[in-house]
Amino acid sequence: NAGVTQTPKFQVLKTGQSMTLQCAQDMNHEYMSWYRQDPGMGLRLIHYSVGAGITDQGEVPNGYNVSRSTTEDFPLRLLSAAPSQTSVYFCASCREGGPQYFGPGTRLLVL
């Protein structure tokens, strides 16, 4: 199993640009989530999904959209990037009662 994969690893955007952060898992986990990580803030939940076709907002959802058309994929879309979205983004997945598996992260810089 590849586990949880994320692409790209690094990205630089200009303010106002849009992009999609990809996340995929091959463990047939029903739960997937996106976090952003900033200094002094720890990890903060952006959006999560409890299964294909079901998503919900986390602590900091503004400026991001998600969809879950398949069990495997959970892309995160930035509609109009802002400097405040400069962060490291982690995708994660798990099965009920099981450990959480994180992706390697995407480092995003918005200029």
Partner 1 sequence: RKEVEQDPGPFNVPEGATVAFNCTYSNSASQSFFWYRQDCRKEPKLLMSVYSSGNEDGRFTAQLNRASQYISLLIRDSKLSDSATYLCVLQKANSGYALNFGKGTSLLVTP
Interface ranges with partner 1 (CB under 8 A): 31, 33, 35, 37-39, 42-45, 48, 50, 58-59, 87-88, 90, 94-102, 105, 107
Q: Which is nearer to partner 1, 30 or 73 (CB)?
A: 30
Please, are residues 75 and 25 in contact by the beta-carbon 8 Å criterion? no
Three-state DSSP string of 21-42: EEEEECCCCCEEEEEEEECCCE
Q: Which is nearer to partner 1, 16 or 51 (CB)?
A: 51
**Shortest spacing between CB 100 and partner 1, in angstroms:** 5
Please, are residues 87 and 36 in contact by the beta-carbon 8 Å criterion? yes
**Shortest spacing between CB 65 and partner 1, in angstroms:** 19
Structure tokens at 105: 């992260």
Q: How far apart are CA 31 and CA 14, in angstroms?
A: 32
Q: Which is nearer to partner 1, 70 or 100 (CB)?
A: 100
Q: What secondary structure letter does DSSP report for 86?
A: -
Please, are residues 95 and 1 in contact by the beta-carbon 8 Å criterion? no
Q: Which is nearer to partner 1, 14 or 97 (CB)?
A: 97
**Shortest spacing between CB 49 and partner 1, in angstroms:** 10
**Shortest spacing between CB 45 and partner 1, in angstroms:** 4
